[in-house]
Structure 1
Amino acid sequence: MHEPTPTEALDLVGRHEAGQEIPEQMRGDVRLLGSLLGRVLRESGSPGLYEDVERLRTATIQAYTDESDEAFARAAAIADSFSVERADEVARAFTVYFHLVNLAEEHQRVRVLRERDGRPEREDVADSVAAAFVRLAEEVGDDTALNRLRALRFHPVFTAHPTEARRRAISTGIRRLSGLLEEHDTSVQGGAEQRRSQRRMLEEIDTLWRTAPLRPEKPSPTDEVRSVMAAFDDTLFTAVPHVYRRVDDALQGPAAGSRAPIVQPFVRVGTWVGGDRDGNPYVTAKVTRTAAGIASEHVLLGLERAANRIGRTLTLDAGTTPPSDALLALWTKLRSADEDAADEIAQRSPNEPHRRIMLLLARRIAATRTRNADLAYRDPEHLLEDLRTVQASLAAGGAPRQAYGHLQQLIWQVQTYGFHLAELEVRQHSDVHAKVLAELDAGGARSELTEEVLEVFRAIAYIQERFGPRAAGRYIVSFTRSAQDLANVHRLARYAAGPDAQPPVLDVIPLFETFDDLQAAPGILAEIVDDPDFAARLAQTERRLEVMLGYSDSSKDVGPVAANLALYEAQAAIAEWAQQNRIELTLFHGRGGALGRGGGPANSAILAQPPHSVDGRFKLTEQGEVIFARYGDPAIAMRHIDQVAAAILMASAPSNEERNRRAAARYADIARVMEESSRERFFSLVKAQGFAPWFATVTPMEEVGLLALGSRPARRGLSVESLEDLRAIPWVFAWTQARINLAGWFGLGTALSAVGDEQMLREAYEQWPLFRAMIDNVGMSLAKADDRIARKYLALGDRADLAELVMDEMTLTRDWVIRIAGGDGLLANKPVLQRAVKLRSPYVDALSLLQLRALRALRDAPEDAAPDAGQQRLLLLSVSGVAAGLQNTG
């Protein structure tokens, strides 16, 4: 019998998709990468590995396409027949295959974006900032639209939440492969360059295969800082100013680049990496200082290189471009501070005043990085002043294109990143603050915890002094339950500073996470603004205030449906309170990558927010695999930033606010019924006697904690007798691995049944953005689930009642989602996404079957026996592979 090649196996899925063909170029990429992987498996795998991989893959595709129990049983029997050693190799092979398919899909996205950019008319880019500005101007007028554009703010905050299952070595290898695939695209068919790129791809894939897919130990917080820096070095430093440039090009037309830009920098980058100590004992004050230093090193090096590049190219003669008096004065000032270098540069550039200045400015940036006090800039504002002097001189000297070209991009980079790169935020649990203050108020010896908490405030003060006030200062209080929880932060800052010093400047941000806390939020805010410290800070910032909302714990608390509705109500109430109190509110959304943690398309979520809850400002967490999915490739990063910023701009358009206002009023009764019924259904599961240990049995929840994903522990306590101490990430991750995805949908079917009016629900889907986003996100979540595999996981436990409850709700929810969204299946209205899910599902099934056999072996072992190391490793390998296949973890 003929065994299918990787491409033929892919074709089987393609035909099953009823005409949803894979683009030919992407098919070619998968064919190429798949054939290279097959060669690697034959050359580097043990004898017979390639044949075993193909045998399992063929069986899972057959089981997926005909959906019979017999076909599924045959696939499971093949997975069970492997030795542990062979199963290990097969799991690794499938995982590498997923990395390659994901790469091919990403490459296709980049290809489409570039083709779109190359068209003379870009009418198809309707969700860009430029298009949003035009639509907004039609509603509010040019001047108002321009003011809103200039006040626009998109603020992603990178976190070290452990949801990236890939090792950094794997990620960098894939990035190298991406470059080779691009080279392959542009080389002559069959030519020497193409053969060279294929040979190098073969080498990289062989390296991927030979690289251990699991981290040998957890990364340290400093490792996490350096990992996130890769997104900045490879993408963000250049991508963000390119976004500004694209918007300005679209708005100014032919005049773009020859006059001052319309666009003001609207991206600010934040980070919790090295600052988030909530439940992470490894993030110390020393780590926070180190994190700030690493970030500053990276951005200053980037600015130095950019200034040098501009200096080397700015060879304008003084006769054609006379310098301004201000530029000559700046030269005198710089020369006196750095005389030897100035003389050398002047000798090499005798009549090129602008070039000479830029090369000296590059030296001053370098001195700032190396902490040379004689030459270093005190702050980025002084660098900006010098750059603007050069820019004004160029413009006055008749060289506007040089003034507003690359030099403008450097100015944008300084405005966006300063000398700190990312605004470092600290987060700590409110209970820790209360405990430390109780000890301080009692007097006596100070514990190690107390000294460490106080040292954090000293670290913030040091960072502000060293890198500028923007570098640090936001302090997030997780599990904020009272105004006192917020006031405590200022008290601790004064304790840390002592009587003879000023505490750091702090913006204390409440984080409302649970259902009850979300409902209490407006009252807590109304109380805290009268606190003297808060009132003083509001006066200093022109009444600006940030409030953070937690999606993860609220979803684990009351279920995804009730949490989403509660979050909307909380935002509406907080926004109304802010309007009444003349406060410029920024809501900070603690969203994760998975749908159970507020994940899903950010732009549609923004457009579904309550009136005045956005007002041109949107801040959210970006974590784990999401960071590299959205910011790993420059073209994708630029598209993501453009889309999100466009949604932020349009969210406050009168038409969008009115639509959300009307929908919220019209469907308020439906929302109430859905909230109450879904919460009751969710509680019937999670509050059932013995649920927590059952959950730990039927999912790899315990084993997920063994993965060396991040520095933070997977749970706050040691017991699984209660979900209270389980973090939201393993809660979501475990359900995802079991192919149930319960955290993203459970309770929705019951909620929709409680409403009952199908026609009304279809109308709500068309008219109510929040409801539409909820239905679409659940559709995505269910599409990645699998009934047959889910039943196998649930059978690991001894609670048929709970297993039946889960499966009944899954069936009910799927039925309602399909009826409301239309079509003959999940994601029928999202064909590209549907294709991506169907492309991967049979191969994810193979890894799930390998994971199941490992779980069964571990669960069936005697309680007093040590875990079988081989089965445990197989389980962890399959967890990594399933995460790659589903393209999310937690």
Structure 2
Amino acid sequence: MGESRTVQEQEATRPLREDIRFLGGILGDTIHDHEGPEVFDLIERVRIEAFRVRREEVERSAVADMLDGTPTEVAIPLIRAFSYFVLLANLAEDLQRDRRRAAHVAAGEPPQDSSLAATYAKLDAAALDDATVADLLTDALVSPVITAHPTETRRRTVFDVQAEITELMRLRRRLDPGEPGFDDTELRIRRAVLTLWRTALIRLARLRIQDEIAVGLRYYDLTLYDVIPAINAQVRTALRARWPEAELLRRPILRPGSWIGGDRDGNPYVTAEVVHTAAEQAAAFAFGRYLDELVELEKSLSQSGRLVRVSADVAALAEAGYADPEVFADEPYRRALHAIRARLSATAHRALGELPEHGIDTTAVPYATAREVLDDLDAVDASLRASGDALLADDRLAALRHAVETFGFHLQGLDMRQNSEVHEQVVTELLAWSGVHPDYPSLTEAERVDLLAGELRTRRPLLGPHAQLSELATKELGVLRAAKEVIDTFGAAAIPNYIISMCTSVSDMLEAALLLKEAGILDPGTAEGAPASSVGIVPLFETIEDLSAGAATLAAALAVPVYRELVAAAGMRQEVMLGYSDSNKDGGYLAANWALYRAELDLVEVARDSGIRLRLFHGRGGTVGRGGGRSYDAILAQPAGAVQGSLRLTEQGEVIAAKYSEFGAAHRNLESLIAGTLESTLLDVEGLGEDAETAYAVLDDLAARARAAYADLVHDTPGFVEYFRESTPVAEVGDLNIGSRPASRKPTNSVSDLRAIPWVMAWSQARVMLPGWYGTGTALEQWVGDDPARLARLTDLYQRWPFFNTVLSNLAQVMAKSDLDIAARYADLVTDEKLRAEIFGMIGEEHARTVRMYKAVTGHAELLSDNPSLAESIHNRFPYLEPLNQLQVDLLRRLRGGDDSELVKRGILLTMNGLATALRNSG
């Protein structure tokens, strides 16, 4: 984005610039007062020079020259200063977005796409009939799943203070200078900024998985507990008003999930104890909030029995004997609610072993299920409405009813996940110990399937009480038995799915089923009854090859009678997870995206032919290189038939905080997930019509070319791994205490074994952003050649096809955050000059080619012509990145040159933190 912004654009962004100047000024004052004028003056000189670089008034080397040789003890406050400048600029941008939305509404403009209001208007125009909608939205589900892949580098204290500043800035905007409270608000902001400056940015110790569980649950306290049930109620009301005969959404559509504490793929810290901890802490939160609300309801529903008539059900609750008859002598609703609280307290005590706050220590009979709680609350609701008190029923009581219906006793569904290789090892050991087969790995695939299918039909366990197993098998079975205990305690929804990583065959799916059977979760059935499992078996297809073969694997599994019976017992619903990370690392951005689309097309066909209802679970990360980008656009970019009223997707890293830490943002993001799901299910959004197959053929060709170009660099260029390790801070990513999982699946120098987060994060830090674009330019250029008709064909697809539009739009976003001038500084860290020149030369040529072809296909003059808000964000924030990148390179050079002092290491980690905050999608 250049300096040619219009007067109108400048006026629209004036409040943003004022906020940035105001907060930057306070931070500057804080630094001056607490670090001294010399440090402050240096920071100011660097800041001014960085902005001059952005305006192209000086060469890029100006900032580097100014910082060259800066003593480490001076570099640290510099890094902290620019990290906090970025954080406060982010805050100001979020406030600006809120103002723009408010202005949009105030102007009476039509609702914006991705809002439910806009979606309802589209559905109304489509004139759909009740039967069609009822079929398409059978068991509708939208499930954001918080995962244990944290790249959110902010500590909770920093996060909380930032939230405080946000609220104070909102308050300040509502006040005029001189008005009471204006000066006090500024003083409170200054205190908060001082707190930030005095707070360490990075953790000294790595997060434990117990910490991750707590971090995941904090979003329920911040927003999700209140927002999700409210949206569920609103969507149900809106859809039933449009199609009253369809009885839509018998279950709430939004049902959240989590992987934290259940995902043990590559995480040795997930144990049986951790599974219990994750489930119990989630349940404790739910019970605690329910009991809090019941206390408030007891206070507010004070109607006298002399003035209102209650239903027989409420009268029975009131007479249950749990309330002091003298205290609530004439208040039947209070006595009824006290009885509900007593029973819920007993339920919580039985499940958790302790009484939550606001629990009642009585001998009440516990509830068996959350449905029983809801029945009692519904009885209170019906009684209030019957006596004309619907206004009271629609307040706190309605909110509690919707919460219990949504969250049950479990709050969130905890998915289990493990790698297929581990399953094979454990099954091999179990079969050998039990005498079923001495050498399971020696069997062919067909023989494995026959053996496993037979075992799934027998009721006898493989192990007796005195079985002697390896540490691995003991741990794995312990985790699954813990899952069985969680299900028995909190209900089947507490652990809904078992995900098989790197699933490549039917036997991989049946091995997981056998382990579920051994743990008592899968019931093999009897002569009179078919087998069933409350936990769904979910294959995860991750690599490009596995995605390509995924539909065939699923079809073969459904051809095994015992597995099809399991699916039938689950209402013919089969979930399949699609992996974005490994497919991208395997074949590059365009090839991975197209492999996912092709896999979905094939899976939809298998579902149609086999009569199952397909649910896709998208393993999206925060970055474009891992499936990131706007969720609404991504949902609309799915092929026809791929959504079918159901969608699950992972939420991870800094994306979780960006989406769910503030009420308004959480509401908008959850709305967008439902809006996209409804539109993709009920409307024709693909837009290709009879042109679909020829469009698919174009992408087949493009993807093959892109993959070849990507493989030429990443897989086939000698020394590439060496270049990657030396030109990025990938080795140091493992030292950034952002998660409990190791950076690699196993010790190796192979790109394939490196986890996607450090792979993407390292390229982001070096400002190359390679996983989000490399290979696409070559594919587009080769396919178009010198043929204007071919270029016009791609332009037409870009304009008509949401998938192709989204792929190119996301590519532009990530390329706009790249900076090859800075990347060249990182390349200088590579000791082999010939290797450096060869690989950086390939990267530079492909970068220029991709930008050129993007502009040619889209017709845009700039990368972000279609995304002015991101363009403005880069305009405001990126000058602060300049010194962070320059200092990181300098410190990496010192570390690798032998200065391994704690101060140098800390400086590197601080720059990584600051850059991740600035880029806002680090992994």
TM > 0.5: yes
User: How far apart, in 1, do the equivalents of 2:489 and 2:622 lie?
Assistant: 34
The CA deviation at 1:83 is: 1.3
Task: Select 1:177's aligned residue among 162, 165, 182.
Answer: 165
User: How far apart, in 2, do the equivalents of 1:150 and 1:413 lie?
Assistant: 21
The CA deviation at 1:378 is: 2.0
Task: Select 1:469's aligned residue among 492, 497, 514.
Answer: 492
The question of 1:98 aligning with 2:96 is answered no
- Residue segments in structure 1 that go unaligned for 5+ positions in a row: 1-12
1:811 alignment partner in structure 2: 848
The CA deviation at 1:264 is: 6.2
Task: Select 2:514's aligned residue among 491, 495, 512.
Answer: 491
User: How far apart, in 2, do the equivalents of 1:87 and 1:290 lie?
Assistant: 42
The CA deviation at 1:269 is: 0.5
The CA deviation at 1:778 is: 0.5
Change (3 A) 1:733 1:662: farther
* Aligned AA (1:367): A
Do 2:49 and 2:63's aligned partners in 1 also have CA atoms closer than 8 Å?
yes
The CA deviation at 1:14 is: 9.1
The correspondence of residues 125-274 of structure 1 with structure 2, limited to 5 A, is 125-141=112-128, 143-144=130-131, 147=134, 151-244=139-232, 246-247=234-235, 265-274=252-261
**Residue aligned with 2:181, SS:** helix
Moved more, 76-85 or 594-603: 76-85
User: How far apart, in 2, do the equivalents of 1:596 and 1:459 lie?
Assistant: 35
The question of 1:542 aligning with 2:571 is answered yes
Do 2:727 and 2:829's aligned partners in 1 also have CA atoms closer than 8 Å?
yes
2:428 alignment partner in structure 1: 438
The CA deviation at 1:157 is: 0.3
Give aligned pairs, total. Answer: 857
1:634 alignment partner in structure 2: 663
The question of 1:653 aligning with 2:682 is answered yes
The question of 1:791 aligning with 2:770 is answered no
Change (3 A) 1:712 1:580: same
Do 2:772 and 2:811's aligned partners in 1 also have CA atoms closer than 8 Å?
yes
**Residue aligned with 2:260, SS:** coil
**Residue aligned with 1:476, SS:** strand
1:451 alignment partner in structure 2: 474
The correspondence of residues 208-357 of structure 1 with structure 2, limited to 5 A, is 208-244=196-232, 246-247=234-235, 265-318=252-305, 321-332=308-319, 335-336=320-321, 338=322, 341-343=323-325, 345-347=327-329, 350=330, 352-357=331-336
User: How far apart, in 2, do the equivalents of 1:58 and 1:241 lie?
Assistant: 48
The CA deviation at 1:450 is: 0.8
2:29 alignment partner in structure 1: 39
Change (3 A) 1:742 1:662: farther
* Aligned AA (1:562): A
Change (3 A) 1:17 1:284: farther
The CA deviation at 1:146 is: 5.8
- CA deviations 1:375-431 (Å, max 9, x no partner) are 432221101111111111112222223333432222211111111111001110000
2:440 alignment partner in structure 1: none
Do 2:538 and 2:576's aligned partners in 1 also have CA atoms closer than 8 Å?
yes
User: How far apart, in 1, do the equivalents of 2:520 and 2:342 lie?
Assistant: 35
2:695 alignment partner in structure 1: 667
Do 2:89 and 2:876's aligned partners in 1 also have CA atoms closer than 8 Å?
no
User: How far apart, in 1, do the equivalents of 2:339 and 2:96 lie?
Assistant: 43
The question of 1:505 aligning with 2:534 is answered yes
User: How far apart, in 2, do the equivalents of 1:125 and 1:355 lie?
Assistant: 44
Change (3 A) 1:110 1:365: farther
* Aligned AA (2:72): V
User: How far apart, in 2, do the equivalents of 1:369 and 1:14 lie?
Assistant: 60
The question of 1:71 aligning with 2:47 is answered no
Change (3 A) 1:293 1:252: closer
The correspondence of residues 529-608 of structure 1 with structure 2, limited to 5 A, is 529-531=558-560, 533-608=562-637
1:29 alignment partner in structure 2: 19
* Aligned AA (1:411): R
Task: Select 2:891's aligned residue among 854, 864, 867.
Answer: 854
Change (3 A) 1:869 1:791: same
Do 2:523 and 2:533's aligned partners in 1 also have CA atoms closer than 8 Å?
no
Task: Select 1:418's aligned residue among 386, 399, 408.
Answer: 408
Change (3 A) 1:118 1:288: farther
Do 1:545 and 1:585's aligned partners in 2 also have CA atoms closer than 8 Å?
yes
User: How far apart, in 2, do the equivalents of 1:661 and 1:322 lie?
Assistant: 61
1:10 alignment partner in structure 2: none
User: How far apart, in 1, do the equivalents of 2:141 and 2:524 lie?
Assistant: 34
Change (3 A) 1:16 1:264: farther
**Residue aligned with 1:404, SS:** helix
1:839 alignment partner in structure 2: 876
* Aligned AA (2:491): G
The CA deviation at 1:139 is: 2.1
- CA deviations 1:624-683 (Å, max 9, x no partner) are 1111101111001101111221111011234325x1554532312321221111011001
1:518 alignment partner in structure 2: 547
1:62 alignment partner in structure 2: 52
User: How far apart, in 2, do the equivalents of 1:404 and 1:263 lie?
Assistant: 19
User: How far apart, in 2, do the equivalents of 1:193 and 1:375 lie?
Assistant: 52
**Residue aligned with 1:666, SS:** helix
Change (3 A) 1:16 1:735: farther
- CA deviations 1:69-88 (Å, max 9, x no partner) are x5211111112142111111
2:813 alignment partner in structure 1: 780
**Residue aligned with 1:278, SS:** coil
* Aligned AA (2:328): A
- CA deviations 1:598-637 (Å, max 9, x no partner) are 0001111111111110011111000011111011110011
**Residue aligned with 2:144, SS:** strand
Change (3 A) 1:36 1:252: farther
Change (3 A) 1:328 1:115: farther
Change (3 A) 1:439 1:271: same
* Aligned AA (2:391): R
The CA deviation at 1:499 is: 13
TM-score by length of 1: 0.92
* Aligned AA (1:491): L
Change (3 A) 1:324 1:495: closer
* Aligned AA (2:64): A
User: How far apart, in 1, do the equivalents of 2:858 and 2:774 lie?
Assistant: 18
User: How far apart, in 1, do the equivalents of 2:522 and 2:40 lie?
Assistant: 71
Task: Select 2:904's aligned residue among 865, 868, 871.
Answer: 871
Do 1:242 and 1:638's aligned partners in 2 also have CA atoms closer than 8 Å?
no
**Residue aligned with 1:154, SS:** strand
- CA deviations 1:817-851 (Å, max 9, x no partner) are 12223332111121112111221111112211111
1:4 alignment partner in structure 2: none
Moved more, 290-299 or 535-544: 535-544
**Residue aligned with 1:215, SS:** coil
User: How far apart, in 1, do the equivalents of 2:918 and 2:676 lie?
Assistant: 29
Aligned-pair Cα RMSD in Å: 2.6
The CA deviation at 1:262 is: 8.8
Change (3 A) 1:344 1:677: farther
The question of 1:744 aligning with 2:772 is answered yes
The CA deviation at 1:246 is: 5.0
1:7 alignment partner in structure 2: none
* Aligned AA (2:142): F
Do 1:610 and 1:660's aligned partners in 2 also have CA atoms closer than 8 Å?
no
The CA deviation at 1:166 is: 1.4
TM-score by length of 2: 0.89
The CA deviation at 1:187 is: 4.0
Do 2:318 and 2:333's aligned partners in 1 also have CA atoms closer than 8 Å?
no
1:387 alignment partner in structure 2: 377
The question of 1:696 aligning with 2:715 is answered no
